[in-house]
Amino acid sequence: MSSRVSLARSRVPLDRMALVQMAICALPTALLVGLAQRTLAGTLLYLSVLIMVGRCVLRREHVRLGVVVLGLIPWLMLLRNDFSYNLLIVLLVAVPAFWCLIVPHDVAALWANFRIRLLLILSVVYWLISFFLTGDYSVNLRALELTSAVCVIFLLSGSYRHLLTALVGLSLSTLSICVALLPYGERLGMASVDGHRLGNPITLGIPLALVVTLAIADQGRLLSFAGRGYRIALGVVAGAFLLITTSRGAWAVAAGNLVVLMFLGKRQRLATVGLLVAVALSVPLIMATQRGVYLEQGIRRTLPTDRTLTQLSSGRSDQWLLFPRLFSDSPFWGYGPGLGQTQYAKYSLLDHRVEYKPGELADWHSLYLQLGVDAGLIGLFSLALIAIPLLWCCLRYLRVTGQIVPLLGVTGFLIVAASVSAMDAVSGVFLGLAFLSTKEPSLRFGEASALDLRPSVVPLTRPRVRRYLNGLMRVDATTMGDPWGPAQWMLDLPEKWRLSWCLLRANEPIGFVIATKKESSLHIHRLAIAEHERDSGLGKQLLGLAARRGQVRGCHSITLKVDKDNKGAIRFYHRLGFRSSESSGNNLAMFADSEAIASLYATNANSRFSR
């Protein structure tokens, strides 16, 4: 068996429990939205999310907490006005905070990343100054939403399996929103339910642009696709939904990323062309439905017609027209973070060309405009200090690894920032994917993914037990007998930390052996393989490796005890050459020669897992 695994034929197994938890939250919510029960849908969504979050906290499942929160971002953004507007921000901040309590090393590595540290510091300072100048804590609080989403993506990237699960969940959440909102409104993503406005086309359009991007880029690997047909189908469905949002800002994001794929994505050009053709063919089908009228109106709003530029751009052209005057009056410091709305109300009255909300408080429809007004050259330079080196990192990452997703992340974010403030969680996902390029690109993408798929064995030291405790306990819980608690896992026993091993796949425990030395014997306290990994020879190889290490430590025999009712385990040990010696209560004592068991590892170990 080759040491490399072809990703086209192999898929990283997703975290099914996390997908179930996201489905429990999203599917009833989608049904209630479809039935026009807006308030009930929002309440149910947030209560179910809080229950899932509480479950993850109680079980110390920090990684799954990040997966669930990230995967439900589209729904939390859509219904944030119906429960607690800032709860999404609290959840996104809570993930790295809780992660720090469980695995502080991971968060320390995140903080050690200079570019992320700079982004965090600038975002917090920007929000604090806004709070100080306006007296309103909510002004620019969403800057923390953006940076927290970046941090969650970066932390999840330590487990390829869970990063994929989160992105798959986010994609499915986005598509479920599309289905739930299909009966409403002129533009998909915006609805009038119970007399209240729900959603915004660009809030749905940007996640759809992300789904289109991920379905094509890098052969759809970040959505766990191994076949071209499925990912093209997903891209076409998401592209068709994107069309009927008629969100020109989201169209620009998708179009910009597809252009980058055409020019720089050598292996994605054919798929990109196929997607564009399929989406173009879907236009006549959409035109034949009730949505066709609204799509035609959206196209007319986009193309030059007898409408004014202000009408075509929803006021963005007026803000760009007004910006030079504001900027020239205070070019260096700006007017202060959080004061951009009042400056627009003031200056819009001084220019007769402005048609968009003259004299009214209005948000700036671009991150570049907002930073230029709020913080002048300092704000724009700070953004450039993050974006330009990050863009260079993404290009270098593409050249070294062949992976284009980080580059599409930064280009997508920069395009989003031209249409909206980009201080939201989905923009944070784009930017977070870009920050993956700041990790050391030591292997090409296919090789790195193959290593992720291939089991690796590592010594089970005390720090690793602490880091992987939740996963180890989940594997242990699938075996017969009483599972160990945290205190038993951390218990010091003779030579335990030198003789025990852990088996990882995609940075998650899938097996372990706990062994100690008793006089001249190696005693196996625990040997377990995850249910979905059994019957693959991994248990035999793991036991053989423990026997080899035991020989080095002077152990000439191996002993263990197994529950008499565990017939499968007894047959397993008998096949390996173990013999029964005596019984003690409900346990059967077994023993074998170390050399015979150690040879099991030497036979074909290198094809089973890497060290």
Q: For 573, which DSSP code?
A: H
Q: Taking the chain, what is the end-to-end CA distance rounded to the nearest angstrom?
A: 16
Q: For 182, which DSSP code?
A: T
Least confident residue range of 15-29, 292-306, 355-369, 486-500: 292-306
**Greater pLDDT, 292 or 466:** 466
Residue percentage of the chain with pLDDT more than 90? 45
Does residue 357 have a pLDDT over 90?
Answer: no
Which residue is it, tokens 């963005």? 316
> In a 3-state reduction of DSSP, which class is residue 76?
helix
pLDDT tens-digit map of 521-547: 999 999 998 876 777 788 888 898 899
Does residue 609 have a pLDDT over 80?
Answer: no
Give pLDDT, residue 4.
31
Structure token pair of residue 448: 């790195």
> Do residues 194 and 39 touch, judged by C-beta distance below 8 A?
yes
Distance of CA 597 to the CA centre of its chain: 42
- Per the prediction, the chain carries an average pLDDT of 85
> In a 3-state reduction of DSSP, which class is residue 187?
coil
Helix 228-245 × helix 248-264 angle, to 10°: 150
Give the burial class of 58: count Cβ atoms within 10 A of its Cβ; 0-12 exposed, 13-18 middle, 19 or more buried.
exposed
Q: What is the edge-to-edge ordering of all strands in the sheet holding 587-593?
A: 456-459, 501-505, 508-518, 521-529, 557-563, 587-593, 579-584
Give the burial class of 303: count Cβ atoms within 10 A of its Cβ; 0-12 exposed, 13-18 middle, 19 or more buried.
exposed
Q: What is the mean pLDDT of residues 175-186?
A: 89
Give pLDDT, residue 433.
96
Does residue 288 have a pLDDT over 70?
Answer: yes
pLDDT tens-digit map of 98-118: 999 888 888 888 999 999 999
For residues 550 and 533, give the distance between their C-alpha atoms in angstroms, rounded to a whole number. 25
Give pLDDT, residue 10.
43
Give pLDDT, residue 445.
42
Structure token pair of residue 466: 């602490």
Q: Which residues contact 472 (CB under 8 A, 6 or more apart)?
A: 465, 489, 502, 509, 512
Radius of gyration of the chain (CA): 28
Least confident residue range of 298-307, 351-360, 510-519: 298-307
pLDDT confidence band for 27 (50 / 70 / 90): very high
pLDDT confidence band for 315 (50 / 70 / 90): low
- Selection from 386, 344, 117, 349 nearest residue 334 by Cα: 344
Q: What separation in angstroms does the CA of 414 have from each of 368, 390, 411, 420, 453?
A: 9, 11, 5, 10, 33
Strand partners, 201: none
For residues 113 and 439, give the distance between their C-alpha atoms in angstroms, rounded to a whole number. 9
For residues 527 and 539, give the distance between their C-alpha atoms in angstroms, rounded to a whole number. 8
Task: Please count the other Cβ atoms lying within 10 Å of the Cβ belonging to residue 108.
Answer: 10
pLDDT confidence band for 304 (50 / 70 / 90): low
Structure token pair of residue 593: 């020669």
pLDDT confidence band for 19 (50 / 70 / 90): very high
Does residue 155 have a pLDDT over 80?
Answer: yes
pLDDT tens-digit map of 214-228: 999 988 888 876 555
For residues 504 and 452, give the distance between their C-alpha atoms in angstroms, rounded to a whole number. 9
Interstrand relation of 557-563 and 191-193 (parallel, antiparallel or unpaired): unpaired
- Using alpha carbons only, give the angle 455, 456, 459 rounded to the nearest 5 degrees: 140
Q: For 559, which DSSP code?
A: E
> In a 3-state reduction of DSSP, which class is residue 7?
coil
Backbone angles phi, psi at 587, to 5 degrees: -105, 145
Alpha helices by DSSP H, 421-483: 425-435, 445-453, 462-467, 469-477
For residues 27 and 312, give the distance between their C-alpha atoms in angstroms, rounded to a whole number. 36
Amino acid 280 reads: A
Give pLDDT, residue 440.
64
Does residue 575 have a pLDDT over 60?
Answer: yes
Give the helix/strand (H/E) hosting 588: strand 587-593
- Selection from 22, 365, 12, 292 nearest residue 174 by Cα: 22
For residues 421 and 140, give the distance between their C-alpha atoms in angstroms, rounded to a whole number. 10
Does residue 122 have a pLDDT over 70?
Answer: yes
Least confident residue range of 66-75, 281-290, 416-425, 428-437: 281-290
Q: What is the mean pLDDT of residues 133-149?
A: 94
Residue percentage of the chain with pLDDT more than 70? 90
pTM: 0.76
Q: Which residues contact 302 (CB under 8 A, 6 or more apart)?
A: 248, 251, 312
Give the helix/strand (H/E) hosting 536: none
Most distant pair of Cα atoms in the chain: their distance: 97
pLDDT tens-digit map of 237-277: 999 999 999 888 999 999 999 999 999 887 788 888 888 89
CA quadruple 333, 338, 344, 347: dihedral positive or negative?
negative
Give pLDDT, residue 523.
93
Give pLDDT, residue 506.
67
Does residue 143 have a pLDDT over 70?
Answer: yes
**What 3 state SS string does 390-421 have?**
HHHHHHHHHHHHCCCHHHHHHHHHHHHHHHCC
Give pLDDT, residue 109.
85
pLDDT tens-digit map of 470-480: 889 888 877 77
For residues 376 and 334, give the distance between their C-alpha atoms in angstroms, rounded to a whole number. 4
Give pLDDT, residue 50.
94
> In a 3-state reduction of DSSP, which class is residue 364?
coil
Does residue 605 have a pLDDT over 90?
Answer: no
**Greater pLDDT, 282 or 452:** 282
Q: What is the mean pLDDT of residues 39-47?
A: 91
Backbone angles phi, psi at 509, to 5 degrees: -65, 130
pLDDT tens-digit map of 405-449: 999 999 999 999 998 888 999 999 999 999 999 886 544 444 444
Give pLDDT, residue 448.
45
Does residue 121 have a pLDDT over 90?
Answer: yes
For residues 282 and 244, give the distance between their C-alpha atoms in angstroms, rounded to a whole number. 11
Give the helix/strand (H/E) hosting 519: none
Q: For 5, which DSSP code?
A: -
Strand partners, 527: 513
